[in-house]
Structure 1
Amino acid sequence: MSRWTTQELCTSLSAAFGADNVEEIPSADEAIQVVLPDLGDLGITIAVTDRQLFVSTPLVEAEQVRDRAAFNEACMRLNPINPLSNLGLTTINGRDTYIVFGELSPDATADQLELEIHTLADNALDAIEALKPYLTSSEATA
């Protein structure tokens, strides 16, 4: 069973990041959005399950990538040096979207989750900087 309920996690994250920057996502069960104003309003999503806390942020929509094969290879080479985070591809609002994500135990402490959020945000910004040469424009989600 999960250590955290969504409501408990919202309360804890609100204390850490400010109540104005944390909210439950109404369209997703057991999910929370944290906005980091000091990092350009980067949005971090936390999904709560009984087996893990899944932390993620969109990196770039696939249609913004010039050469997906080259971009995928660059992501694979970047992934091992991206501490505590992974790069992946998923569908968001019907669009293929590259994401940066990490997982924690449902028993993770508030401090561990805060570290994961900050690390994931830093890794997303580092990744988009490293992957800019593969994009059709300099605008990215992260």
Structure 2
Amino acid sequence: MNNKITLTQLADSLHKSRFNNGAALAPEIIEEDLQVLQVLIQDREEFPVYVTIDDSQILCVSYLWQEQEIIPEQREALLEALLALNIPMPLSSFSKIGHQYIIFGALSTRSDADAILHEIETLSDNTLDAIELMADYLK
């Protein structure tokens, strides 16, 4: 028996959902072949959350800033700050893909739509917090 949620099922569920603050969600599958769901959040459209589901995890990612946006003299301090925030930032971690810094959360493939919604909401909140907290390190 396969209880794993599909990206299409998740998109359908999220269309009907709202965050605790009332913000509406606009989920859209943007990469059919790669199976990527983009979730735009009302009043946070510049920081969408991207969701992928594979055999081992459900991954939720939000893009932060690129390497060239960091004040060069502040890079080491920024990296130290990100490492220090990895533990106290609930349900999210920082990483880097190429020149792009990201914040992400991962869930079990058996997670239901409510758990995924909670992860997306937490990740969206954490994205805004991270950008605010790291503003002094960025151009």
1:113 equivalenced with 2:113 (yes/no):
no
1:25 Cα offset (Å): 1.4
1:56 Cα offset (Å): 0.7
Runs of 4+ with deviation above 3 angstroms: 17-20
Aligned with 1:32 (options 21, 34, 37): 37
- The answer for unaligned runs of 5 or more in structure 2 is none
Tell me which amino acid in the other structure corresponds to 1:64.
E
1:46 equivalenced with 2:47 (yes/no):
no
Tell me which amino acid in the other structure corresponds to 2:120.
I
Q: Which residue of 1 aligns with 2:100?
A: 97
- The answer for unaligned runs of 5 or more in structure 1 is 137-142
Contact 2:59–2:104 (CA<8 Å) still a contact in 1? Answer: yes
TM-score using structure 2 length: 0.85
How many percent identity over aligned positions? 33
- Matched residue SS, 1:4: coil
Q: How many residues align?
A: 132
Alpha-carbon distance between aligned partners in 1 of 2:39 and 2:134, rounded to the nearest angstrom = 24
- The structure where helix makes up a greater share of residues is 1
1:78 Cα offset (Å): 1.4
TM-score using structure 1 length: 0.84
Contact 1:4–1:106 (CA<8 Å) still a contact in 2? Answer: yes
Q: Which residue of 1 aligns with 2:127?
A: 124
- Matched residue SS, 2:87: helix
- Alpha-carbon deviations, 1:93-121, whole Å to 9, x = none? xxx11111000011111111111001001
1:38 Cα offset (Å): 2.8
Q: Which residue of 2 aligns with 1:140?
A: none
1:88 equivalenced with 2:89 (yes/no):
no
Alpha-carbon distance between aligned partners in 2 of 1:45 and 1:89, rounded to the nearest angstrom = 15
Aligned with 1:56 (options 54, 58, 61): 61
| Compared CA separation, residues 32 and 40, structure 1 to 2 (3 A) | closer
RMSD, matched Cα: 2.1
Of residues 123-132 and 37-46 in structure 1, the stretch that sits farther from structure 2 once superposed is 37-46
Alpha-carbon distance between aligned partners in 1 of 2:78 and 2:25, rounded to the nearest angstrom = 35
Contact 1:60–1:99 (CA<8 Å) still a contact in 2? Answer: yes
